[in-house]
Amino acid sequence: MISRPQPGEFVPYQEVYLNCVGDAEVPAIAEELKDSTYAFFTKIPEEKGSYAYAPGKWTIKETLGHMIDTERVFAYRLMCFARGEQQGLPGFEQDDYVPNSFANDRTLQDLANEFRVVRESTIFLLRNLKKEQETVIGTASGKPVSVRTLAYIIPGHELHHLRILKERYLPGLGIQI
């Protein structure tokens, strides 16, 4: 079990993701979400994948693509810091990544499959962390962040976007999942 991050191991805006996880056990929640998130996206009709609830908002496909990209970035950061990386890691601009992912050119099924494979890789990383690696703090985007914070952010970020999809996207489509 990975213990909950403490103040000083994360910046305030990351707390929203930590709170999404609550008291759930990481990596167990990551494993549970692998299947439930895959099922969630595969239940959405393919023709609805390009739906956005408002102009300028990401489509369902773009949101899933963003979730995949973000998991890769956070898992990379976690691996780097757990392995002793001393250099700061760059940030990433999600609003540049999303259009360059070309998620709308893909099927929801293909994106869901990719999500599941990326999550499998993340689960191996999380399962094999040693207790002494959890509290290692590195710098990403010019800010300090611990390995265990990143471990919590991965499922927390996913839960955050699933909530938005359920609250803002699915009602507009008349879909209940």
Could you tell me the residue range of the domain that residue 32 belongs to?
12-173
pLDDT of 30: 97
4 in a domain, yes or no?
no
2 in a domain, yes or no?
no
Tally of CB atoms within 10 A around 142: 10
Single-letter amino acid, residue 72: R
pLDDT of 172: 87
Separation in Å, CA 138 to CA 42, 43, 79, 108, 147: 36, 38, 11, 35, 8
The Cα 176–Cα 169 span in angstroms is 10
Segment 57-83, tens digit of pLDDT: 999 999 999 999 999 999 999 999 999
Tally of CB atoms within 10 A around 45: 10
51 in a domain, yes or no?
yes
CA–centroid distance for 138 within its chain = 19
122 in a domain, yes or no?
yes
SS3 67: helix
46 in a domain, yes or no?
yes
Instruction: Give the number of domains in the chain.
Output: 1
Region 24-43 average pLDDT: 96
92 in a domain, yes or no?
yes
Q: List the CATH number of the domain containing 145.
A: 1.20.120.450
Token reading at 6? 């403490």
pLDDT of 175: 83
59 in a domain, yes or no?
yes
Token reading at 96? 């540049």
Element (H, E) at 144: strand 143-146
61 touches 112 (CB < 8 A):
no
Token reading at 19? 């709170």
5 in a domain, yes or no?
no
Confidence of residue 174 (pLDDT cuts 50, 70, 90): confident
Query: What does pLDDT average to over the chain?
Result: 97
Per-position b or e across 103-128, b if 16+ CB within 10 A of its CB: bbebebeebbeebbebbeebbebbee
Closest CA to 15 of 24, 5, 23: 5
